[in-house]
Every structure is written in structure tokens, then in C-alpha cells.
Amino acid sequence: MRIVDLRSDTVTKPSPEMWEMIKSLDNSKLGDDVLGEDPTINELEEKAAKIIGKEAALYVTSGTQGNLVSMLSQANPGEEIMLEELSHIYKNEVGSAARIGGLMIRTYPSNKGVPDFKEIQKMIRNKDNIHQPPSTLLCAENTHNYHGGAVIKPEDLYNFKEFAEMNDLKFHLDGARIFNASVASNLPVTEFTKHADSIMFCLSKGLSCPVGSLVAGSQNFISKARKFRKMVGGGMRQAGIIASFGLIALEPKWIKRLEEDHKNAKILADGLRNLGLNVEVYSPETNILIVEFLDKVRILKIIRSLADEGILAFNIDKQKIRFVTHYGINEDDIQYSIEKIGIVLKGISF
Ligand SMILES: Cc1ncc(COP(=O)(O)O)c(C=O)c1O
């Protein structure tokens, strides 16, 4: 059966150029990265820092680990950190900030990732009050996964930074898909990173590497993050083997390829709208499309019925399905998906 896997951009597999790169490796390109001696990792970290516009970068095993070592580096146990209420760190990272970091989590509401700064001002703790934990870290997510790949614009990021500075907070950006924001806005990625003290971005999503993410920031931040990475088991020795994929992923041509995913998400959205179903099809800004059912539905039944027809997707709550476009999915797959989704949704009894 033909399968179109629209569950996530994490299902992507390496490109032929990435396989060529890995084949060209030999032992001279590998070393012990815990000792800072893996030339491939060092090259990737330097390349990433340059592209992101920060002093230094650090290769980590995953986005989750990157966010964790960033939070551990930017805030101390007993302090309060501010996370957007639908953020990946809050919803999907197993509460690591609290469990491992001893950090108190405060969530803030937002409009597609951007809070009302006057409202969240009321959440800031008074550092001089003997009863309160100090607020020390503010986090944002760009693009925002649960808000359907929404882009937080540079001017809004500037407001985050201003708010953070005014309140003596560090500002960390979960930029798992920051290159999607940059490509969709036709702006250099540094416009999206320059206001953050630290940023995490993933190689293993739209950039289609099998493993790995990077964190970037000041030299001082990266030194701390390197030690925390070791603490949480992320010191990986001859990791140049897997990091080498990232050297291809960070080439301008490969970053620009994300445009195709954005285009496909729009085609999917238009196609689903034309089916005339009782659903709200959100307008995708990047590669994530959310479809909301307006009738009360059994969402898992829908997911199963779609899977039976070869269309894989995730539900993100009781009424919403998320479709993600990515490397390996072409326009023909999208047209096929529209047809199949139409057949399933018209035929299903909720
Ligand atoms: C916004 C966001 N941040 C962080 C992560 C975590 O990345 P990883 O799956 O590599 O741990 C994800 C994963 O989907 C994500 O969507």
C-alpha cells in the first residue's frame, strides 16, 4: 500500500548528498568529542555558530536535550522559568526543567506564541520578596509547533528581548524549526536569532538529518551547556559520523529546500478546503497544517481510518489533526493525500 507519512518532519531520512558525505569520512575526520577533538563536530559547531550569528555552538543529541542543557545553563534550581502554555518544552519534554533542573515552571498564554507583554508583566516575581522564587528565564518557540508552525516575527522577538531585559531575565528560543521561519519570511535566520541569549535548533526535522540538534549562544553559555550536556549523558565521543550529515543540512541550498515543504502544506490546505467538509483548515505559515473538526468527533478513529488508507497523521488534541510536510513528500503525494483524506472523512461516521 502507498504510504504518505505526514506525522512529522522527524520521519525524514538523509538525502543522497548526505550519504555521499558520510562515505567520504575516514578516521582523520573523527576524534573524541568529549575532549573537543572531533574535527567534524568542531567544523559543524563553527558552521552553525556562524550561520546562527552567535559566538559558539554545541552539538547535542536531540532538541529535547538542547532545550534542557540551555535551561540548566540559563537558570538555577529554585528559580522560575516562563514557558508558553502550548510550548513543546512544557507539553512534550517530560517536565525535564522541573525534574532535572529543579526549575519552577510558569506558563503564559499567547496569540500564536506571542504573549501580551503587559499581561505577562504581572507574572514576574519580585526578586526582593522573601516568599517568592525569582523569575529568571523567558522561553519562546519559533516556529510554533502546536500553533500550526506559526512564525514569530523579528519585531515580536525584539519585544521578547526588551521584556526580558527590563525584567532581568535570560531569553531562550526553542528554534527547532527556526530555518522554516527564516525561509517562509524570506529573511536571514539571524533576524530570528539575534534577540535571543540562547537558541536551540534541530537538524533532524525539516533539515532531514537522522540525529542531532545544536544550541548556540555566547562562549560562556556554551561552556556551561557543554558541561551540562556531559551531565545528562550527551558526551558522544566519535560523533562526527552522525554530525557529518549536518554539514550538508546547513548548506544554503538545503535550507532553501524548506520552501517546497511550505508550498506543499499550502496545496494540502487548499485541497482540503475544497472538499467542503465541516472542518476548519488553518492557513499554514510553514510546513505544519492543522485541521480542526467542528463536529464532536472520535479523533483516534479518524487517525486509524486515515492510516488504513495509508495516510499517516497525528492528532494534537480531541478535535485537531496535524499534517506535516517534509523532505520525501512531493506534490503528487499531497494530491494523493487530499483524495484519500476526502474519501475517509466523507465516509466516516463520527
Ligand atoms: C518545537 C520543538 N521543540 C523541540 C522538539 C524536540 O526535538 P527532539 O524530538 O529532537 O527531542 C520538537 C520535536 O518535535 C519540537 O517540535
- Note the pLDDT tens digit of each residue in 5-52: 999 999 999 999 999 999 999 999 999 999 999 999 999 999 999 999
* Mean pLDDT estimate for the chain: 97
> Residue 233: CB partners within 8 Å, gap ≥ 6?
none
Half-sphere exposure of 318 (CA within 13 A, CB side): 5
pLDDT of 173 reads 98
Helices 178-185 and 258-273: crossing angle, nearest 10°?
A: 80
pLDDT digits (tens, 9 = 90+) for 218-250: 999 999 999 999 999 999 999 999 999 999 999
Give residue 274 CA to ligand 1 midpoint distance, Å: 32
Give residue 79 CA to ligand 1 midpoint distance, Å: 24
In the beta sheet, which residues pair with residue 170? 137
Give residue 145 CA to ligand 1 midpoint distance, Å: 9
Q: Which residue has its alpha carbon closest to ligand 1 atom 8?
A: 63
The answer to whether domain 16-254 and domain 257-347 are alike in fold is no
Q: What is the pTM of this model?
A: 0.97
Q: Scan for cell 538545503, then name that residue.
A: 254
Note the CATH architecture for domain 257-347: Alpha-Beta Complex (3.90)
Give residue 63 CA to ligand 1 midpoint distance, Å: 5
Residue 138 has pLDDT above 90, yes or no: yes
Q: Which residue has its alpha carbon closest to ligand 1 atom 5?
A: 63
pLDDT of 350 reads 61
Dist CA 305 CA 345 (whole Å): 9
The SS3 of residue 232 is: coil
pLDDT of 249 reads 98
Which cell goes with 159? 519585544
The CATH class given to the 16-254 domain equals alpha beta
- Residue 307 CB: number of other CB atoms within 10 A? 15
Q: What residue spans define the domains of the chain? A: 16-254, 257-347
Residues of the chain with pLDDT > 90, as a percent, come to 98
H helix runs in the chain, sequence order: 16-23, 39-52, 63-74, 88-92, 96-99, 117-121, 154-166, 178-185, 190-193, 219-231, 240-249, 252-256, 258-273, 299-308, 331-347
pLDDT of 287 reads 98
H helix runs in 88-218, sequence order: 88-92, 96-99, 117-121, 154-166, 178-185, 190-193
The SS3 of residue 289 is: strand
pLDDT of 347 reads 85
Residue 144 has pLDDT above 90, yes or no: yes
From the CA of 64, give the closest atom in ligand 1: 11
DSSP assignment of 244-255: HHHHHHTSHHHH
Closest CA to 2 of 341, 338, 309: 309
* Pocket lined around ligand 1, Cβ cut-off 6 Å: 10, 62-64, 88, 141, 145, 174, 176, 202, 204, 213
DSSP-derived pairing of the beta strands 56-60 and 311-312: unpaired
Phi-psi region of 228 (alpha: psi -120 to 50; beta: other; left: phi over 0): alpha
